Amino acid sequence: MRVLLAGVSLVHAKDGIDTIFKVLSDQIVAVKEEGSKQAALYEEQACSFKDAFNRFQDAIKENQGKFEEMEGKRQAARATWEFLTSDKDESGSLANTKALLLAEQNDLAEETADMKKNEKKAMSELADAAEAIMLVQKAKDTLSAATMEAEKVQALVQLKTKLRSLNMESLVDDPSKHESNHSEIITMLDKLLTDIQQHKVNTDQDWKVKKDEHFGNIDRMNAEIKRLKDKLAEDTKTMEENRELMLKMQKEMAALKGVIDADVAALKQSTERAATAKSEYDNDQTTRTQELAALHSALKMMEKKFNEEAPVTEEPATGEDGKPAEVACDFPDTAVIWPTIGDPKAPSFLQVSSQATSFLQKKTTTELNFLNDREDLIALLDTRAAKLRSSTLMALATSIRADPLKKVRIMIQNLIKRLQDEAANELARHQDCDQKETALQDERFSRKKEMNDYESKMEAAQNEIAETTESLNKLEQSIADLKQECMEQNSQFLYDKKLHENQVTVASHGAASLTEVIAEMDKFFGEANQASVESGYSGDAAGGSSIIGIMEGLKAGFEKMKADSTEETQKLGVSIANLISDTTTDCTNKRDEQQSLSGGKLAPAIEAFKQAGADLHNSVISYAERTGELIELKYESACKDTQLSKAEEIENKKAEIQALKDALQILEAHGE
């Protein structure tokens, strides 16, 4: 936003300079034209002075007649206004008409209230009559159908109660008189029904007559109220018109009196001015020549300062897309290199120590090189299993096709199980052998438990390594984002700063140049020179002041532009420093966080992974050695199984042990 406003200021400054060029040129033309007009006017003045006396005399006489006519109109309007504004006792006055209107409105309100009262009463009587008719009919029906005297009497009592509201209670006999004579009661009720119906008709007719009277009175009163309101409005209008006419006449008479007085004074002044007109004309022409010289000099100076000597500024650099050229933030940043699980390469947990003495290391180099991939291992196991008729090796070959590491362990477990079964069968015969075998089995079980523990530790370490590495990568991306954001803001700040520096250059030149031009203008239009002018014409002071005012306004604008742009330049410098400082701090904090994660979590996790792998390797070696010892115990020692010949047993077990060694070697190669 600051750059946008600054750009607008430069545009306004250019427009202001163009305006000064134009007003100076226009002022020169205007002064020349005014000189020509003044010469022609002076020639006309000589003739006008001669005819002035007769013209003023005729005007004074004519205006005096108009004045007397206006006075007559004013008096008539005043009489009408005084009559209409008299008190209410004066018939025809506004106050009298208002009193009559108020009285008529009060009568109308009373008449309306009486009509509503009579209407309410009539409607009530009509409703009671209708209900009474219903009760009479109900009483007749009850008497006709009643089987008990009490029901008859009750019907008559209800009817008598209702007729009280109609003042017709006397038309019903006492029910006790007719306790046993139905016909007399019904006859009485028929007559009563006729009387009530007639009473209802009479009540309705009476109300219609009264209603018509009320509406007639209301219409008459409304008509009178309308007449009085119309009269009041018309009289009020007449009063206002006469009041305005009085004021108008007074104003026009005062103006006309002023015109008459002015004409008398002008007649006197015209004669006096004729004598001095020639002297003033000569002095004015001299002053005008000086004014033109000052205006020409100022215009020439403007052309020199703002055309020939105008400063040239270099626009800030932009990219192909028109945006500010990219400038990266310059601050120190050392990338954090965190360790990985393969750097340096950790030894395979299945790698056999160079000092190991296990018989599993006895395989020749030629045979190991032959088993150079998983398919070779599977083929070898298939061949040995078929030759030795070993179900263990055959199951191992099948399992390795799916997962070498897992299936090797399963194979070893199965082999151990078989050897355990064989040992159990020989327990009674080889007590000493059994004790040795038990010790070997216990140690193998302990190694197996260790292998499971180390595998769990490796899995936990791998999870920690993955999570920490992900956090480090996120921090690295965050640092890259900070640098990108800093570059974008820094580029914009530098672009804005260059624009403001250009404006300082332009504004400084503009203010200094206008100071010189204003000084040139003051040689004629300044207070010191104006005080020394002897003629009545001191130049187009308004025009000159206007031009100087434009110059001073533009100069003030240049000075403000310089001050504002200087301030903005300083602010932008501070903003750039703060931006780089804040970004440096943020990046440093994130680097510190990376160092903390790398040294505090990742490195220990990798070390734990490597240590667990090495421990697992040693446990597997120990497990394999105990297995070999167990096989030797059962098949090559005094505790051997005698189901087969000694040569056959030794040959088969060695072949199985060799297959196990080959599998373990492949497993070690797979782990690396």
pLDDT at 350 over 90: no
Of the candidate ranges 84-93, 179-188, 287-296, 305-314, the one whose mean pLDDT is the lowest:
179-188
Structural domain spans, the chain: 94-282
pLDDT at 373 over 50: no
pLDDT tens for each residue of 294-313: 888 888 888 888 888 888 88
CA distance 356 to 348: 15
Q: What are the tokens at 217? A: 């009175």
How sure is the predictor about 40, in pLDDT bands with cuts at 50, 70 and 90? confident
pLDDT tens for each residue of 438-456: 888 888 888 889 888 988 9
CA distance 519 to 513: 10
Residue 288: count of CB within 10 angstroms of its CB: 19
Euclidean distance between the first and final Cα of the chain, in Å?
63
Q: Which residue has the higher pLDDT, 184 or 498?
A: 498
Burial of 649 from C-beta contacts in 10 A (0-12 / 13-18 / 19+): middle
Of the candidate ranges 179-183, 196-200, 425-429, the one whose mean pLDDT is the lowest:
425-429
Cα torsion angle, 469, 470, 473, 478, sign: negative
Q: What are the tokens at 651? A: 């040959």
**Which residues, in sequence order, are bridge partners of residue 417?**
none
pLDDT of amino acid 157: 61
SS3 335: coil
pLDDT of amino acid 521: 84
pLDDT at 399 over 80: no
Q: Which residue has the higher pLDDT, 315 or 424?
A: 315
How sure is the predictor about 163, in pLDDT bands with cuts at 50, 70 and 90? low
pLDDT tens for each residue of 255-267: 888 888 888 887 7
Of the candidate ranges 178-187, 577-586, 644-653, the one whose mean pLDDT is the lowest:
644-653
% of the chain beyond a pLDDT of 90: 11
pLDDT of amino acid 360: 36
Of the candidate ranges 282-291, 330-339, 491-500, the one whose mean pLDDT is the lowest:
282-291
pLDDT at 596 over 90: yes
pLDDT at 654 over 80: no
CA distance 606 to 463: 10
pLDDT at 218 over 70: yes
